[in-house]
Amino acid sequence: MSSTKVHAILANLPLFKEMEPDEIERIAQNTRELHATRGEIVFQRGDPSHGFYVVVHGQLKLAFSSPQGVEKVVHLVGPGKTFGEAVMFMGMPYPVYAQALADSLLLHISRTAVFDGIERDPVFCRKMLAGLSSRLHSLIGDVEAYSLRSCTQRVIGYLLQHDCDNPDDCKDLHVNLPASKTVIASRLNISPETFSRVLHDLSAAGLINVKGKDVTILDMGKLRAYGQQ
């Protein structure tokens, strides 16, 4: 991939939009691209961080696993999204590992380029702050869900939230699960078996319709109500 192509991709990310072309070029100079094939580990827990990543296409999961080998997916990252910023700023080793769920193209933006950018451009700095804040916010949401909500409520919350993420889906009340059910279950902190049963129950109650990874919400109001209390 040419350097101008990297430049073009960067220029389209919210993080770098409004940045001067020569500033973007400076960042592009410190960006390397990398391919990850399905199943490939991009970094291991404990690895040192030298920058952050952007997913150009494909999908990755960030996860940790217990000594007994139980895996817990913390985050799913798709096209246009970034990951690894927080660890970069802290200068600590990665607390999670990253694995490609599909063949993916990533950009790696080096730490020095970012620190340089912050030095030069307060707008860029504010965007980094906004990005971290947003991630923090969604983590708080996860903690709330894990602490206060039952499995069923978490699944419903997930379906409703992902329905509204995508405007197209919102019309049709269609949700396309972005990964295997096992991975989604782990993301929601439930066993695959329980996830399967919850989907089954919601289907039986006439609230949703499941066909593979396609979930149709039949009655949004009732689904939301089923989640309450």
| Site of interaction with DNA (CB under 7 A) | 38, 70, 150-152, 180-182, 189-197, 199-200, 210, 212-213
Task: Give min distance, CB of 95 to its own copies, in A.
Answer: 5
Q: Which stretch binds its own copies (CB under 8 A): 10-18, 121-129, 198-206, 214-222?
A: 121-129
Q: Which of 31, 12, 33 is nearest to 117 (CA)?
A: 31
Q: Largest Cα–Cα distance of the chain, in whole Å?
A: 58
Where in the chain does DSSP place strands (E)?
Answer: 31-36, 41-43, 51-57, 60-65, 71-77, 82-83, 97-100, 104-110, 174-176, 208-211, 214-217
Residues 62-91 that bind its own copies (CB under 8 A): 64-68, 70, 72, 74, 85-90
Q: Does 2 bind its own copies (CB under 8 A)?
A: no
Strands of the 104-110 sheet, one edge to the other: 31-36, 104-110, 51-57, 82-83
3-state secondary structure of 5: helix
Binder of its own copies out of 152, 189, 194, 209 (CB under 8 A) = 189
Among 139, 164, 205, 225, the residue binding its own copies under the rule CB under 8 A is 139
For residues 77 and 83, the answer to whether their CB atoms sit within 8 Å is: yes
Name the residue nearer to its own copies (CB basis): 1 or 132.
132
What, of DNA, its own copies, none, does residue 8 touch, CB below 5 to 8 Å by kind?
none
User: Could you say which of 115, 166, 180, 206 contacts its own copies (CB under 8 A)?
Assistant: 115
Q: Residue 7 and residue 4: Cα distance in Å, rounded?
A: 5
CA distance 144 to 64: 20
Interacting residues with its own copies (CB under 8 A): 64-68, 70, 72, 74, 85-90, 92, 95-96, 115, 118-119, 122, 125-126, 128-130, 132-137, 139-144, 146-149, 189, 228-229
